[in-house]
Structures are given as C-alpha cells and as structure tokens.
Chains A and B, each alone.
Chain A
Amino acid sequence: MRHTSDSSAEGLVLHSEPDTKGPSRSSFLTGMGIATAGAAVTAVTPNAAAADATPPPKLAPPSPILAAADTKPLPPVSADALHVFDPGSDYMVDVVKNLGVDFIAAMPGSTFRGIQESFVNYGGNTKPEWITVVHEEISAALAHGYAKVAGKPMAIIVHNTVGLQHASMALYNAWCDRVPILVLVGNIADAATRRPGVEWDHTATDVAQMVRGFVKYDDQPLSLDSFRESTTRAYALMTTPPQGAGLIVVDADLAESPVREKPAAIPPYRPVRPPVGDPAALDEVARLLVAATAPVIVANRVARTPAGMASLVTLAELLQAPVVDLAARMNFPTDHYLNQSFRRSVVAEADLVLNLENDELFGVVDDVPDLVQRHTVSRVKRSTKIVDINSELAVGAGNYQDKQRFVQADIAIAGEAEASLPMLIEAVQRRLTPERRAQNAERAQRYRAAFIARRMADRDAAAVAWDASPISVPRMCMEIWNQIRHEDWALVSQSQFIGSWPQRLWDITKHYQWIGSAGGGGVGYQGAAAVGAALAHNGTGRLVVNIVGDGELMVLPGSLWTLAHHRIPVLNVVHNNRSWHQEEMHVTRIADRRDRNPANGRVGTVIDDPAIDYAKMAESYGLYAEGPISSPHDLAPALARAIDAVKRGRPALIDVVSQGR
C-alpha cells in the first residue's frame, strides 16, 4: 500500500496498489471486488495496453467466516489515495514508548521515514526524544554510553545496509561491553513496492545478517502484532544479563501503510529478573571464602546498578578480601583500602580467586606476555582455587572471540554476580565465626598499609615531569581533578589510555561518578559514547567530564555537533598526544625485534603533519573551546574557563598537547 512516484522519461507515473481505500477489512474486501470488476482503475499501469491484455484473476467471494469477521466495528476510513491517517508506525511508536525508552538517536534514512514521522509527530518527540547525529556509528556509540550511565537502553534507528554498516563497529563495541541498545532498522521487505534504484541498494532479505554475531536477538516482523511481540522480546532479552543489543527490522510498508488489522492492545512491560546462582553452590562458595586465608575478589561487570557496588563492598569487608577491579563498570570505590586493583601481587598470593561477572578470567590467572615466544605463564599458585560467578557461563560464543580462553574453575555458577551477591553475602555471614572475623581484621591491617603505600607511590610518580611540556598525563588528570573534586561530578571516559590516573589518585566513590571502560577496542567510541553518557546525566546538575584521545575523537568528530545541537553540557579534554600512540609503540617494538630502524615506527601512526587544531574544530561545531595548550601552567586557567561555560549549559573542549601516556 505504499504510494510512490517516480520521474521517468514518460513523465510522472503513479504506482499504487489495489487497496487504496484504506486499511479496513471492509474496504480491503470491497477493493477486491472493485479490482475484479475493473482492474485498470487501480492496478499498476505503466503500460495500459499491456494491462488490458492481461485480465486480472478472478477472486473467490469471501468465506462466511471472513465475511462475519468483516462485520465487526471498524475504525474510520483511514486513507484515501492521497492520505494515510492511521499509519502502522504510530502503533510501533506506542510499542517503543511502552518500554520506557527515553531517547532515540539517528541520522536520517528514507527506509525509516514513516516511523521517524510518527516518533516526532504522533509521539510528540518525547520519551523517546529524537537525538540527531551525523553518522550511524555515533548513534550506536552514543547509545552505548547512555546505557552505561542511565542503566537502561535507548533506541537507535538506522537506514538499512549503508546505515547498519556504519553502525556495526559501535554495535560490536557494545556487544563486547555487554551493553543493551534497541536497534531499529528500516527496510522495504516487499520487492514489488520498491522503487527502482536506491531503494534496492538499501534493502536486504536478511537485514541483521551482517551484525548477527554481535547482537543478542534480531527479528524482521511483518505484522504489527509481531512487531509488538518481537520488540518487547528484544527488550527483555537485551536487558537480561549478560546484556546486549536487540535488533528489530521496521518494514517500511508496515510502517507507512494504514493499519490493516487492528493489533492487540499493548500490555504493560514486565522486566525479566536477572539470573541468580544456585543457592547450594553459593553456600559452598561461602564456605570456601570463609576458610580461605588469602581470598581475592576480581570484579569486571559486577555493578550493573549502585546496589551491585554496595554489595561488593559488603562482601569484601566481611571477608577483608582485596578487590581487583577490572573496571568495565564502576564496581568498587577507589578510595577504599581493599581496592588493590593496581597490586596484582594479591592474585599471585591468593589461595582463592572469586571471579565475578568477568569474561576475562584467563587474563587474571594467566598471561601471554608480548614477547617473541608467546608462552602462557601462570599468575597464580597451582593450589589456588578458582570460583566463577558469571552470567556469561549461560550463553555461548560464535564467530567473535571476545570470551577469551577457557579457564576451568573449581566451582562455576551460571548466575549474574550482582543478583547473586545478596545470597552469597548472607551465606558468608552465617558461616563467619567470631574467631574468623578477628583473623580477617588482622588481614585488614596489611591491606590498609598496602593501599597507602600504593597511593603514595602513585602520587610520587605523578610528580615526576610535573612541569614537562608536552604536558604529562598525570598532570592533566590531576589538574582536572583539582577543579572538579568539590563539585558533583562524573567522568564519562575510559582510563586505560591515560594510565588509569583517575582510578589511582581520584576518590571515585559513587556508582555514577565513573562510566567504566569500553569494550571491543573499536576506535571512535569515546567521543560519541560521552555524548550519550552526558545525555543520561543531563539535568542532574553534575559536572560531566570526558577525557578523549585525539585518535579517538578524529574517528567521529561530528559527535561534538550533537552536543552543541542538543545543548548537552560536558567538558571534553583532548588528550592530544598527536599519535595513535599504542600503535606507534607496537610498530617500534617490532622494528626493535628485527634490528631495523625504530624511528620508522612513526610511519603511519602519528597525527602531526599538520597537527590538528581541535579547538578550532570544536568551535566550528558550536562548542566553547581553547587550545592547543602546551604549557602546564596554562592548563588550570583554561579548564576553569571551560568549566564555567559548561555550568552555563554549553559544551566545551580543551585541547591539551600531552605526553604519549
């Protein structure tokens, strides 16, 4: 029932299909009668002579059941040859609204024009509100950052084929980070309704095929009822740990045409409870933990919510066990003496490693150093017991190898850590005797001293090259910290490329104060994810900070425009080492191993001729911007001015010419 028009050599030819009278069964059946009587009136007629030569097939009259169904009360006639008054996409918007989706990000694409119009007009452009971006990869990375702060998914909608391909890398990052995104993709399923040319380029028979290895669920519904069911199922699956994106194809015909058959009412959404570990197995884990003399907790995606962080603190304090936070989420306060994340020696000394919601267990208990011979080395004692509580254990892996090497745990429990922790804590409390509590308290003293030594060592290390130019990375981080520490703040960037200095020296104590690291290693995440994260923080009064590498920012610089366009305040600080620095080190390392010129490690890995002026670039997108700042003495005043702009609601960017790491 799509009506399209084409310019051709013969002039404007109107294409329409038989049921131009609207969506009701009555009119549909009536239409069939009309078609039977005189097909030439409504059939596609590029060539009238040909149409006359081929009479339409005769249609049987409707069955009694069908005829009876047709006598039901029907909605008013919803379309004529020029109008559609109750498009299917309105219902689709109701389905999305029912899931509590607050935002939808998109770069426009004609395959989803029908549902776009419904979102902004029928849906009132609120819950979800349309967020305009200039690249589909920004849509997906933005939604990735949003979900990590908001604790729930937002939607994106992409043009089929070209748009989904653009979005795919960011969807892969989200997959590796186990982050939910509701992905809607426009498509024109019925080949007979596609216009010649580009609509064929922008359709596919298996739309999700190109990303199926890294989304949790996909479907291509062809009725409004199945759209409701599939979209709701997608949301339920993707928000149940381990989380991931869900992809629903929005058929353009279904979206743009009048409602053919009234779909069922939309029931309120009921979330799926996360999977909890087996109680008997958790009790056995509690027994081992209480008996251990040097237990270590390794956490990665534990704190799905603030409650997860609180539970982890409770468990660690009950056991006086050090926590190694691998930091995909804000799991554990950085100022807590049991945070021993930068003292991996605790793992070597452990008699029990409790692995929580971490798919990188191999990297905790073993290692493959970057040497010519890639030998596996163990990081734990042979006698160390391994306990794994992890929702990952319940799902398989396919083509992509993000699950890493298999480690045989002594006890493996397929349950989500945050959901299972309350039961584990209760079991530990039951088993802790006064004598054991006293022994644990003695252990605490050792970890207090170690924490202090580590903090002071990091502090001393940060002082070295404090006045260097290019500006040292710890100085950049600590100048930012000095300006935000008395504010209500949030850091929305990963830290692995800035030496984890915020985690070493900032007091990060609240769940919302840090977004956690990214997944997948797809460059370009940071600039766009920060937009989504800042969107989630928007309205809270928090001062949002994004430390972004220059190589990262240059992949999706257009994400800055979305900040300005939607007035999303965030302080961007560009860690501008004028290099894809990690890659520079890699190539130099290989040259060294081969006794060849290491200086050529810079060929293809540096971004310095010409040096990019990020402040000018940001200004052109509408941000407040300063830089390049090379002298450390100029940094604090520039940050202060930028923060002032942010507090007045304007996104800002400071370009800091910095050391490599």
Chain B
Amino acid sequence: MMSRSSILAFALALALLGAAQNAGPAGDPARGRTAFFAHGCEECHGTLGQGNPRDGVRIAPHPVPYEAFLAQLRKPRSAMPPYDAKILGERDAADIYAFLASIPAGKPATAIPILAAVGTGNAGPPPKVAAGVAHGRAVYTQNCASCHGADGAGGFGPALTRERSRKDLRAAVSFIENPVAPMPKLYPSRLSERDVADVAAYVESL
C-alpha cells in the first residue's frame, strides 16, 4: 500500500507530466511572435490568436495541448492550409506555441460594460442552468471551444450540437477521459473529475 506521501508525490508527478505534455517543448515566446506573423498566422487567427467567426478559430489564450496544436498545423482538419516542417520547422512551431501560451486571458465579457449589456432579444432571459452545467460551460470555453467552436458548432474538431443523440452522459464522460486521437487527453492533467462531469453535462445540453 502506498503511503499518503507517496500518493501525493505520484499525483504531483502525474500533474507535472500532464503540464509538460500540454506545454510542449520549450519555446521562445518573443521569437514565436515573430514567427507567428512571418507565417501569416495572424491573417486568420488575429494578432492575439483570438480568431474570427469566418476565417480562423480562436487559438489563444489557453491554446490546445501541443500535440493537438502540432497535429492541426501539419495535417489540418477543416479548410486551414497545411504548414509542413519545410516551411514551419519544429522550433518555429514550439516558439509559436510558446507565444500563444504566453498571451494572457483578458477580461470576460461580463466585466466589459458594452458586452455585458448585450441582451438575448425576445428569447427571454438566459435559462437558469444547474451550477454544474454553468461550470461545464466555463470549462468548455477554456479547453474545448478552440477546436469544437464557441457554441459547439464545430471547427478543427467535429460539431457537438446534438451530441446527446450520439452519446449519453456516461459515454460522453468516458470519451473525454479516454479520447481518440487527435482529441487531446486533458484528464486528469488539466481537467478534474468534476470538470469532466460538468463539461460533459454542458455538451449534452447543446
């Protein structure tokens, strides 16, 4: 039986491994910014990786894990053009990733008065959702939206609207915990058990 301290040390090691996986190889953010512009990334994704509804999804802040980033770069899903190693080498990729990872999250919309005033038209007030679903939406925005779209309509990754017709809640949890590549494995390194349960509930609500 492992001692309490051994368990903690093992958990810490797992977390560090996960963090290292997500962070990717060490890169230089300043050099990455230059490479980001030199390769025309900002044309579709914006100067801060914010994306736009028509041409490029949001890729920062909180970029997808490095493996997913690299997979999309080399063999993109959707209409993004490929960036082979011949024109964007491993170091450039690592540096660009470091730049994206260095971009701080700005204020949420609710803290920006102009955006906070955006209404819901004649749809009525936003429905009261269970606390878990609300938390799941926040988890989704931070970790999933860059691939699956801001409202689950798809992007790099497939659309998740009506996912409930394909997977029930238990199946959704299971898939998030043990995804099929190229979907990154964020549990347990980045997402807790509660995060997974809540984000699955949110996806089921789409």
Contact = CB atoms under 8 A, between A and B. Distances in A.
A660 interface: yes
Q: Is the interface of A mostly helix, strand, loop or mixed?
A: helix
23 contacts: A335-B122, A448-B124, A451-B123, A452-B120, A455-B118, A455-B121, A457-B151, A458-B150, A459-B109, A463-B108, A464-B61, A465-B46, A465-B48, A466-B106, A466-B115, A472-B46, A473-B52, A507-B119, A592-B40, A592-B87, A597-B87, A602-B40, A660-B46
A559 to B, nearest CB: 26
Contact of A460 (B119, B150, B159): B150
A529 B150 CA distance: 34
B109 A601 contact: no
Contacts of A472: 46, 50
7 smallest CB-CB distances across A and B, nearest first, come from A335-B121, A592-B81, A337-B123, A465-B50, A457-B150, A463-B109, A457-B151
A237 interface: no
A585 B206 CA distance: 32
A507 B117 CA distance: 11
Interface residues of A, number: 66
Contact of A499 (B52, B83, B123): B52
Interface string B9-24: 0000000000000000
Question: Which of B52, B106, B108, B161 is packed against the most chain A CB atoms within 10 Å?
Answer: B52
Interface stretch (A11-19, A35-43, A60-68, A478-486): A478-486
B162 interface: yes
Contacts of B151: 343, 453-454, 457
B122 A371 contact: no
Interface in B48-79: 48-55, 58, 61, 79
A344 B52 contact: no
Contacts of A451: 120-121, 123
B106 A595 contact: no
B36 to A, nearest CB: 11
A466 B55 contact: no
Interface string B161-191: 1100000000000000000000000000000
B4 interface: no
Contacts of A591: 87
A466 B112 contact: yes
A510 B49 CA distance: 35
Contacts of A461: 50-51, 53, 58, 150
A588 interface: yes
Contacts, number: 163
Contacts of B162: 345, 349
A593 B81 contact: yes
Interface in A606-661: 659-661
A633 to B, nearest CB: 13
B114 A478 contact: yes
A505 B206 CA distance: 20
A301 interface: no
A452 B126 contact: yes
Given A463-B108, A479-B114, A602-B40, 11 more contacts: A335-B122, A454-B151, A455-B120, A455-B123, A462-B109, A463-B107, A467-B106, A478-B114, A592-B82, A598-B38, A661-B54
B39 A468 contact: no
Contacts of A452: 120, 123-124, 126-127
Interface string A575-596: 0000001001100111111011
B51 A659 contact: no
B139 interface: no
Contacts of A370: 79
Interface in B131-152: 141, 145, 150-151
B84 interface: yes
Contacts of B121: 333-337, 339, 451, 455, 507
A346 to B, nearest CB: 9
Contact of B115 (A337, A463, A499): A463
Contact of A345 (B107, B109, B150, B159): B159
A478 B206 contact: no
B84 A595 contact: yes
A465 B44 contact: no
Nearest to B161: A345
A130 B147 CA distance: 55
A204 B27 CA distance: 67
Contacts of B114: 478-479, 481-482
A470 interface: yes
A161 interface: no
B192 interface: no
A459 B118 contact: yes
A500 B53 contact: yes
Nearest to B145: A457
A448 B126 CA distance: 9
Interface in A313-346: 333-337, 339, 342-345
A468 B107 CA distance: 12
Interface in A91-114: none
Residue with the greatest number of chain A CB neighbours at <10 A, chosen from B49, B119, B150: B150
Contacts of A659: 46-47, 50, 52
B198 to A, nearest CB: 16
Interface string A476-502: 001101100000000000001001100
B51 A588 contact: no
Contacts of B42: 660
A272 interface: no
A470 B47 contact: yes
Contacts of A473: 52
A165 B186 CA distance: 61
Given A451-B121, A465-B48, A585-B43, A343 B153 contact: yes
Given A345-B159, A452-B123, A453-B151, A593 B82 contact: yes
A598 B39 contact: yes
A370 B43 CA distance: 16
Contacts of A462: 109, 115
A556 B53 CA distance: 28
